[in-house]
């Protein structure tokens, strides 16, 4: 299990450091099912969770919402029948911060 789940997201400022190119592969090893994607020139973490029906997808989405509030860090969530897509990135810095990896690891725990 990832050490990231033991950590807490910290308040981020606009001058907070982004995850470096050297740090990225090491952090991705801790959340291997998450994909780094670039949207509008912003690096993000993305994962699709599949469910048997809409009700299970909604229940999972609500858990992600609770996590986001607890961590004070909020993802993009796309809810569809049997499918939830979660995308983490840090808006203030326009890219990835360690918070995003912490939140991704904790999101995985919600689906166990």
Question: Hey, where are the domains in the chain?
Answer: 18-109
Instruction: Please tell me the distance from the alpha carbon of residue 109 to that of residue 21, in angstroms, as a whole number.
Output: 26
What whole-number distance in Å separates Cα of residue 52 and Cα of residue 73? 28
* HEC-encoded secondary structure of 49-71: EECCCHHHHHHHHHHHHHHHHHH
CATH number listed for the domain at residues 18-109: 3.30.1360.20
Q: Evaluate whether 44 touches 88 at the Cβ level (below 8 Å).
A: yes
Q: Which of 109, 66, 71 is nearest to 90 (CA)?
A: 71
Using the predicted structure, report yes or no on whether residue 1 has a pLDDT greater than 70: no
Q: What is the pTM of this model?
A: 0.93
Structure confidence at residue 2 as a pLDDT band (50, 70, 90)? low
Residue 54 sits at the vertex; the CA angle it makes with 100 and 46, to the nearest 5 degrees, is 20
The whole-number pLDDT of residue 16 equals: 85
Contacts of 62 (CB under 8 A, 6+ apart): none
pLDDT tens digit string along 16-64? 889 999 999 999 999 999 999 999 999 999 999 999 999 999 999 999 9
């Amino acid at each position: 299990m990832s050490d990231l789940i033991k950590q807490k997201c910290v308040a981020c400022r606009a001058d907070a450091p982004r995850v470096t190119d050297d740090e990225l592969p090491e952090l991705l090893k801790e959340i291997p099912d998450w994909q780094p994607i670039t949207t509008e020139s912003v690096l993000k973490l993305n994962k699709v969770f599949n469910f048997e029906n809409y009700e299970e997808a909604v229940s999972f989405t609500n858990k992600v919402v609770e996590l986001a509030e607890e961590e004070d860090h909020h993802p993009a969530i796309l809810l569809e029948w049997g499918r939830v897509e979660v995308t983490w990135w840090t808006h203030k810095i326009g890219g990835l911060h360690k918070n995003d990896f912490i939140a991704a690891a904790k999101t995985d725990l919600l689906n166990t």
